Amino acid sequence: MEAVEIARESLDAMLGYLGFIARVEIDPDADGGGLQVLTEEGDLLIGRRGERLEDIQYLVNRMVQHRAPEAPRVRIDIGHYRRMRDDRMLEGIGRLAERVRATGRPSKTEPLNSYHRRLVHGAYKDDPDIETWSPPDRARLKRVTLRRRR
């Protein structure tokens, strides 16, 4: 059984046991496999700043790893919360990139986790004017530097 299907079954059962009325669907837009939870009680499941959503994703991925140790991580979204948050973050980075284009001076983002750093690097990998760089250390949160391409 595929990891995303194991995750869907596990998450559906978990939410049912907790008393949430929700529909769990496989998200075709997610890279490598993801789930979208559709419910009227999304705010309760997301929590403040997405902490509960992160916890749910962690638990579901632990359950998947227990059944299929080689399975890739499954990304869980509730009511398109993550997609909207990522879009807002990339809009802010876009404003930062425009400032770098206008002034020519490099600029740094706020500290980002690896997922958000990948989004930023991916957004500007083909940009003719802007390049991105982040330090090669093993810190969990790092700043990405946007600068003019040489």
Task: State whether 64 and 115 are in the same domain.
Answer: no
Instruction: Please tell me the predicted confidence (pLDDT) of residue 32.
Output: 65
Q: Is the pLDDT of residue 2 over 90?
A: no
The domain in which residue 52 lies consists of 3-79
Instruction: Render pLDDT for 29-59 as a digit per residue (tens, 0 to 9).
Output: 776 679 999 999 999 999 998 999 999 999 9
Residue 150 is predicted with a pLDDT of 82
Do residues 39 and 107 both lie within one domain? Answer: no
Q: Provide the CATH number for the domain around residue 17.
A: 3.30.300.20
Cβ atoms within 10 Å, residue 108: 14
**94 and 32 both lie in a single domain:** no
Residue 92, beta-bridge partner list: none
- Of 79, 96, 123, the residue at which a domain comes to its end is 79
Residues 118 and 139 in one domain: yes
Among 59, 103, 108, 56, CA closest to 82: 56
Q: What is the pLDDT of residues 80-90, one digit of tens each?
A: 999 999 999 99
Are residues 97 and 132 both part of a single domain? yes
- 36 shares its domain with 98: no
Q: Phi first, then psi: give them for residue 75, nearest 5 degrees.
A: -95, 130
The residue from 56, 79, 102 where one domain ends is 79
Pick the range with the lowest mean pLDDT from 31-35, 39-43, 99-103, 116-120: 31-35
Among candidate residues 33, 44, 43, 41, the one with its CA nearest the CA of residue 8: 33
By CB atoms closer than 10 A (0-12, 13-18, 19+), residue 8 is buried
- Angle, alpha carbons 30-93-132 (nearest 5°): 85
Q: What is the pLDDT of residue 33?
A: 78
Q: Is the pLDDT of residue 100 over 70?
A: yes
Percent of the chain at pLDDT > 70 equals: 97
